[in-house]
A and B are shown apart, each in its own frame.
Chain A
Amino acid sequence: MKVVAVFINLIYFLLLAPFLEGVMRKLTAWIQSRKGPPLYQPYLDLLKLLGKENLNSGGNWAYSLAPVLSFSSMLAAIALIPLTGQANILAHSSDLMTLIYFLTLSGFCLLVGALASGNPFAAVGASREMMTTVMLEPVLAMLLILGTVRVGSFSLTAAVSGVAVSRGVSYFLMLVVYLLALQAFVARQPFDIAEAEVEILEGPYMEYSGPNYALLRYTLNLKRMFYAWLLISSFLSFILPANFFLSLLLQTVLIIVVFVLISLIGATHPRFRIDQALKYYALLLILALIAVGCAVKGW
C-alpha cells in the first residue's frame, strides 16, 4: 500500500492540475462577462503543445534540459507528500527539507532555462522570479517549521499534520500569512510579476515552445495545486475523515474552493510592481517568524 501511495500521489496531481487551471479560466471569464473556454481546455492545450516542435532558441543544453528537470523535481516533491495524512514509503528516506529542496530545485531549473535562453525579457523575468523565491521560500519553510516545533519531528507527515494540532495564536497567525501569500505562491494577479505579459512577455517562459513549454506549464499547474493542497492538509487536517476515499474526495472539493478564491482575487486586482511586492513579502516573512516564535512559546 505504501508503494502504491506514491503512484496515487502522482496520478492524482497529474490528472487534477490542468482541470484546476480550467476552473480558474472559466471563473475569470465569468467575472469579465465572457463565456470562457470549456473546463477541459488546459488538457487540450497541453496535448497540442506536446505535438509541436521544440525550438532550441538558447542553443545550449541547459536551455533544453531545464524544463524536464523542473518538471521532474516538481514530481519528486509531489511523490513525497502525505496525500491523506498517511506517510508513504518515501517518508523513510526524506523529511521536510527534502520537500523544500525539490520545490526550490524546480523553480531554480526554470531560472537556469530562462537565463540560458539569452533573451533580455526572460532575464528580467528570471531576476524577478529569483527575488520572489528568496522572499517566499522562507514563508513556506516557516509553515513547516511551525508544524515541526509542535510535534518535535522533522518528518514531513508530522510537520504537515502538526500545524493544526492545537489551534492557538500561532495557528491563526500562520493561517493569515498563508492566505495572504497564497496568490504569490501560485503566481496569479496581483503577483504574476515574473511573467507579466504586457511588460516582459511571459518572462522566463518567453522563448519556450512545444513539449518543453508544455512541461513548464504543467509544472506551474502542479505547483499551484501543491500550494492549494498544502493549505487544506495542514490547516484543515483536523476535518479530513480517516477513510482514504472520503478524505480524498473532501480534499478535492476543498482544493477547488481554494482555486475559486484564487480566481476571484486574481480577476479583481491589477499587477503589483516588483518593488511593491517585495515590501509585501517582507511583511509576510516577519509575520511568519512571529508565528513560529509563538509556536515555540506554545501559544
Chain B
Amino acid sequence: MSRKDKLLNLLKDELKGNFLAASSLEESRLFIDIKKEALVETASQLMKEGARYQMGVGYEAKKKGGGLAMVHTFAFDADSLLVAIRALTAEDEPEFDSLTPFIPGAGWSEREYIDLLGLHFKNHPNPKRLVLSDDWPEGIYPLRQEVPYDLMPPSAEEVAFRLDEAPPGSSIIPFGPFHACLHEPAHFAVYVDGEEIKGCEYRGFMVHRGIEKLAATELTYNEIPFVAERICGICGSVHSVNYAQAVEAASGLKIPRRAEFIRTVMLEIERLHSHLMWLGVAGHLIGFDTVFMQAWRIREKIMWLAESLTGNRKTYGLVIVGGVRRDIDLTKAELIKKTLAEVEKDVQALEKAIINDRSIHRRTKGVGYLSREKAKEWNLVGPVARARGLDIDARRDHPYAAYDEVKFEVVVADSGDVWGTLVVRIKEIYEAIRIIHQCLEKLASRLQGSPLAIEIEDPIPAGQQGLSVVEAPRGEAVHYVLTGDDNRPERWRVRAPTYPNLQAVPDMLLNNKLADFPIIVGSIDPCISCTDRVAVIDRRSASGRILSRQELEKLSREMRSKT
C-alpha cells in the first residue's frame, strides 16, 4: 500500500464523520475535504506523520453562498507526496481554528487571510495586520468577491504601523523601509543593546501589486504565465513554470516531453544567474566588493546567453499552459555549452578565492546560526534549509518537468550558518551546469522535432485543484490553482521561498552583532516582491498625489521635529 493510501485510511479512521471527500488526479497529490471542526486534528495528525507545512490558501467561493474556504498544504518529502486539506465555513461565521500554536510557520499564512478575507483564527498568537497598508479601511476585504480588483479607498493621514515596544535596556535601529542592505522596501525594527541584536520586528508587504486578484478577475489562463513571470525579477520562470504546472495538474494535461526539457534548461540557467547574483550581493554585504564585481562579471555571460535564447536578459516569456513558446535547437545548444564552459572555469577560480579566504570565514562562520530542529520547525526551504542539514530539494523529492530523468546531487551542509548557505549555493552552480548538459544531450539525441506545446481544445473544467512545486534558486516555491469558469482560475495562490524563510529571520538574528544584520538577512536572499505579491489593489501610492519638492522638505522637517 502506498503512503498516500495509508494516509487516507488513517485520516478516514481518525476523522470519521468529519472526513468529507478525497480526490487525487495524480499519484503524487492528495486533496482532502474535511469539516472545519477537524482542521486542527487533521493538521496535527499530518505533522505527526512527518509532514512539512507549506502554506495556507484562503478564498471565497465564487458560487453564491459557497462560503469561505481555507486550504492548508503539506509536503511529505520522502514519499514525493503533497497533501492539501480544505475546510469550508459559512460567510456569516468566518472563523477557523489556528494552526500557528503548533506550526509556527503557518503564522503568516493565517494573518494574510485575516487581512484579505476577514477570517478569524481562534488562538492565533499574533493576529496583527500583515498584508494591508496601514490606512486601509477596516471591513473591506480585498479577496472577497464583491470587492473589485481596482478599488482605491481614499488614503488616510496620521496612521502608522504600531511597532511593538522594544525590550527594556535596548534601543531600536530602523533597517527600512529603505536601507542599503535591503534591495526592496521592507522594514525591520531591530532591537539592539550596544551592538548586540536582542530581537526584531518585521513589517513588510509594501510592494503589493494585486496579481492574484487580477488573475482571478481579469486575466485568462494563458495570459497569467506572463504576469506570473513578473512576480519576481530574479526567478520569474520559476513562477510561470510553476503556475503552468499547477493548471496542467488540475486539468490533467500532459505536455510534450521536449517542452519539459526546455523548461528544465531555462530553470537551471535562471538558477545559475541567481546563485551568482546572490554570491555577489553576499560579498557586498560583508564589505567585499571585489567578490561582488567578479561574481556579477561571470553572471553577465549568463544574462547574454539568456538574451540570445529568449530575446530577454530576464523575464523570458517562454512558458504557456501546455508547453513552451521557443525551441532550443542545435545552434542554441552549442552556444549554451560554450558559455557554460567559460562560466564553469570562472566560477572555479572565484570559488578557490572565496573558500580559502580566512577573513570571509570570520564574517560568516557561526553567523545567523539556526539548529536543524529550529529550521524544521520554521519549515525552512532551499539553500537556507540545506545549510542547516535538512536534506530537501523539490527537484529530487517532487520531480517535475524533466528532473526525473537527470542526475544531480543535492548539496547539504551542516554548519547551520551563513557560511553553510554560501557553500551550498556555490556547489549548486556546478550541479546546475551538470543538469543543463544532460538536458541538452537528451534534447539532441531523441527529442528532435517533437512539438513544443499541445493544443488545448476542450475548456478546462471548473472546480479542480492543482498543486505544484518548483525548486527556485532560493528554495521551494509553491503554486495552488483552483480552476474556474470564464477561462480563468477561480483562485491562484503563490508562495515564494522567502515566505517561510523570512519568518525565521528574527530567530537567526538573535544575539548576533548589528554588523551581521545585512549578511544574515541577505543569506536567505529575501525576495520581497515574491513574498508580497498577493491579491490586493494598489496601495496608497496609486491614489496619492505627487508632492512637490518644497512640500516634501517641509513634511520631512515637520516629521523630524515631532520625534
Contact = CB atoms under 8 A, between A and B. Distances in A.
A298 interface: no
Nearest to B563: A118
Contacts of A268: 290
Q: Sort chain A's interface into a size bin.
A: 20 to 34
Contacts of B516: 273
Given A31-B290, A124-B514, A275-B513, A201 B363 contact: no
B195 interface: yes
Interface stretch (B2-10, B35-43, B174-182, B534-542): B174-182
Provide the main secondary structure of the chain A interface: loop
A184 to B, nearest CB: 14
B293 A33 contact: yes
Interface string B513-545: 111111000000000000000000000000000
A112 B417 CA distance: 38
Nearest to B195: A274
B181 A198 contact: yes
Contacts of B283: 270
Interface in A55-82: 57, 59
Contact of B293 (A32, A189, A274): A32
Given A268-B290, A274-B515, A197 B174 contact: no
B170 interface: no
Interface string B172-203: 11100001110000000000000100000000
A121 B180 contact: no
Q: Sort chain B's interface into a size bin.
A: 20 to 34
A199 B517 contact: yes
Contacts of A33: 293-294, 297
B195 A199 contact: no
Given A31-B290, A32-B290, A120 B359 contact: no
A272 B362 contact: yes
B180 A124 contact: no
Given A199-B514, A270-B283, A124 B360 contact: no
Contacts of B517: 199
A256 interface: no
A85 interface: no
A50 B168 CA distance: 44
B173 A124 contact: yes
Given A33-B294, A124-B173, A270-B363, A201 B180 contact: yes
Interface string B153-184: 00000000000000000011110000111000
Interface in A28-58: 28, 31-34, 57
A275 B293 contact: no
A232 interface: no
A269 B359 contact: yes
Interface in A153-184: none
Interface of B: 171-174, 179-181, 195, 283-294, 297, 357, 359-360, 362-363, 513-518, 560-561
Given A124-B514, A270-B287, 6 more contacts: A196-B515, A198-B284, A269-B288, A271-B363, A272-B359, A276-B362
12 contacts: A28-B290, A59-B561, A120-B174, A124-B514, A189-B287, A189-B288, A199-B515, A201-B179, A201-B180, A270-B363, A271-B287, A273-B513
Per CB-CB distance, the 6 closest pairs between chain A and chain B, nearest first, are A271-B287, A32-B293, A270-B288, A270-B286, A198-B181, A273-B515
